[in-house]
Structure 1
Amino acid sequence: MDVTTATRATPTIGAKKEDTVFNPKGVLGKDDFLKLLVTELQYQDPTDPMDTEKILNQTSQLATLEAQTNTNKTMKKIADVFQSSSQFAAIGAIGKMADLGNDDVRLDEDGRVSFDIYFPDSVRNGTVEITDSSGRVVKTLPLSSLEKGVHTFTWDGGTAGGERAEAGVYHVSAHYLDGSGEQKKSRVGIYPVESVRFDGSEASLKLGSHYVPLAQIKEIYEG
């Protein structure tokens, strides 16, 4: 008898009704295999005994598989708990500061680039500096009076000399005087967390005018 495919064990003539092994769902677990083994041993033909070693090996393999399945289920539950915890942690970030870990903006070949800068204080005056990878100032944008908060700027790709800057990655920082005349600095990439949006299992935080996946944020801290 092939115990790997059977869903009902037909008892030998003379077997008691309560000895019948019946599985209405057609699924065999390790306990079902043990019942089949006991039944076969009880009613086997003495002149042609069954291969008990084969059934024992199959039962052992099934028990191992069941243990692995239970472990996988447990790990999935743990992963779900951590995922939920991560989402709640993202909600707790609202009102705090998030740092993307860089001040980069990318300029296309023929386009322009818009970027956000957060000013934690009101601005009296100052400048926004756009520098290349070597630290050379490519363009300076003037700052006039601004309120505290996130402000959007647009760079048309022109350089201080009136030429077109090469496409690539540039760095943006701001140097300004606040309302009390104190010198301050800010840069692209640091913003207050305004809200959280969930797309399936992924959380994104609203930083400035964009939503950024939580995985791309390097640091969250009190403002």
Structure 2
Amino acid sequence: MAIDAYGNYTTGTAYTDTSTKTSTKTTGSSALGKDDFLNLLMVELKYQDPTEPMDSEKILTQTSQLATLESAENTNKALESLTAALTTSMQYSGISAIGKMADTGSNAIQLEEGSDAKFELYLPEAATDGKINILDNKGNVLKTITMEATDAGVSQYTWDGTNNAGKELDAGIYYVEATYNKADETSGTTRVGLYPIEAIRYEGGTTYAKLGSSYVDFSKITEITNN
């Protein structure tokens, strides 16, 4: 029993048979390799009719096909090695990004019919108060939510889907920006889509970064900067 990268237990069987020094290698593949084709060619030459020997042009054609097959196999192996190297490189890049700021390139949230919209904002410093603005795709402020005193870090907020007049808005995509005041009487701004990278997770060959309470495909991050 082993533990994978996510803390889940996995079962497997691994053993070494020391009772014999011989081993048999089997494969479930039904594809023929270059060695198989070469063996077939040698058998064909061995049992050819002496009165009607194989055409030399046919031999050259089959030999050329063997060379092409070998080249394709070598190319596939090289591509597999390159893919593995790139995957490893991406994983190391992800690890080195922990603690830095990630920008998803969008401050959009989705409002679903009959439901509140939940979103998260990151504040690098504690806020004494502030305002959270819900915008349409033209930048018009539809709703302003009061931000209470908030500690530094990621905080979750809820929008009930209404505008400042109390009218329920249509389901769709909206945008979130915020301004806040700090204890030193200076102000700051933030928006949805800006979060520190807290952790990295690998799953199915894909790298995910933990932004707030969610894991995001690393390739969806448009920019990474120092805090």
TM-score after normalising by structure 2: 0.79
Deviations 1:85-131 (A, max 9, x none): 10111111110110000110111121111000000111011100111
Question: 1:204 pairs with 204, 208, 211, which one?
Answer: 208
Distance 2:144 2:33 in 1: 73
Q: Which runs of 4+ in 1 moved over 2 A?
A: 25-40, 47-50
Residue 125 to residue 28, structure 1, CA distance change in 2 (3 Å) = closer
- Counterparts of 1:184 and 1:111, CA distance in 2: 30
Structure 1 unaligned segments of length 5 or more: list them. Answer: 1-24
1:114-156 deviation line (CA, Å, top 9, x unaligned): 0000001110111001111121111111112111111100001
**Structure 2: 5+ residue stretches without partners:** 1-26
Indicate if the aligned counterparts of 2:34 and 2:69 stay in contact, CA closer than 8 A: no
Match of 1:89 among 80, 86, 93: 93
Does residue 1:176 correspond to 2:183, yes or no? no
Q: Which residue of 1 aligns with 2:109?
A: 105
Q: Which amino acid aligns with 2:191?
A: R
Q: 1:194 matched to which residue of 2? A: 198
Determine which of 157, 160, 172 is the counterpart of 2:164: 160
Question: 1:158: how far off?
Answer: 1.4
Contact 1:123/1:179 (8 A) holds in 2:
yes
- 2:180 and 2:82 mapped to 1: Cα distance? 49
Superposition deviation, residue 51 in structure 1: 1.7
Aligned to 2:118: 114
What TM-score, normalized by structure 1, do the two folds share? Answer: 0.81
Name the amino acid aligned to 1:143. Answer: M
CA contact (8 A) 1:121 1:179 kept: no
Report if the CA contact (8 A) 1:37-1:55 is conserved: no
User: Which residue number in structure 1 is paired with residue 17 of structure 2?
Assistant: none
- Secondary structure of 1:166's partner? coil
In structure 2, distance between residues paired with 1:119 and 1:73: 48
Q: What's the counterpart of residue 16 of structure 1?
A: none
Q: Higher mean Cα deviation, 170-179 or 25-34?
A: 25-34
In 2, Cα distance between the equivalents of 1:127 and 1:103?
16
Report the identity percentage. Answer: 38
Matched, 1:49 2:47: no
Q: 1:60 aligned to 2:64?
A: yes
Measured at CA, do residues 39 and 179 of structure 1 come closer, stay the same or move farther in structure 2, by a change above 3 Å?
same
Letter matched to residue 69 of structure 1:
E
* 1:57-103 CA distance string (max 9 Å, x none): 11111111111111111111111110111011111111011000011
- Select which of 144, 149, 159 maps to 1:145: 149
8 Å CA contact 2:34–2:70 kept in 1: the answer is no
Question: Whole-Å Cα distance in 2 between the matches of residues 191 and 49 of structure 1?
Answer: 75
1:123 match: secondary structure: coil
